[in-house]
């Protein structure tokens, strides 16, 4: 089964989830592509990502099944990478949309 996710941390990184936000190496990540707040799903944080692993999160944070549930993912299990990312255009007027679409 494939789970499309965002890789938010690599081996050696420290991941912390607090106050509804994601912190990697004590830096708050501004993630304009996510829906909802980031909660722990019952895990204990902070954690250090082990060698040859990544920490992945879905963009619908409150309902996503991701590393908060199944832990860091071994690099050899990663199947692909994103080559393009399209911004959320909901709520943009036509001029704003054209500006986003042209980049």
Residues in the chain: 103
Contacts of 29 by beta carbon, 8 Å cutoff, 6+ apart: 8, 21, 22, 23
Enter the pTM of the model: 0.76
- Domain spanning 6-101: CATH superfamily: Umud Fragment, subunit A (2.10.109.10)
Task: Provide the 8-state DSSP code for 35.
Answer: B
Contacts of 14 by beta carbon, 8 Å cutoff, 6+ apart: 24, 25, 26, 46, 47, 48, 49
Model pLDDT for residues 52-85, shown as the tens digit of each residue:
999 999 988 888 999 999 999 999 998 876 666 5
In the chain, where the domains are located: 6-101
Q: Please give the Cα distance from 43 to 75 (Å, whole number).
A: 21
Chain centre distance of CA 64: 10
Rg (CA), the chain: 15
Predicted pLDDT at 103: 47
Model pLDDT for residues 11-56, shown as the tens digit of each residue:
999 999 999 999 999 999 988 878 888 999 989 999 999 999 999 9
């Amino acid at each position: 089964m494939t789970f499309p996710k965002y890789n938010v941390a690599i081996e050696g990184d420290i991941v912390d989830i607090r106050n509804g936000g994601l912190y990697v190496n004590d830096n708050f990540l501004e993630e304009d592509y996510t829906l909802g707040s980031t909660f722990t799903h019952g895990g204990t944080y902070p954690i250090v990502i082990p060698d040859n692993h990544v920490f992945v999160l879905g963009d619908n944070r409150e309902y996503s099944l991701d590393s908060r549930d199944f832990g860091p993912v071994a690099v050899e299990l990663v199947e692909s990478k994103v080559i393009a990312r399209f911004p959320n255009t909901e709520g943009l007027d036509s001029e704003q949309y054209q500006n986003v679409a042209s980049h």
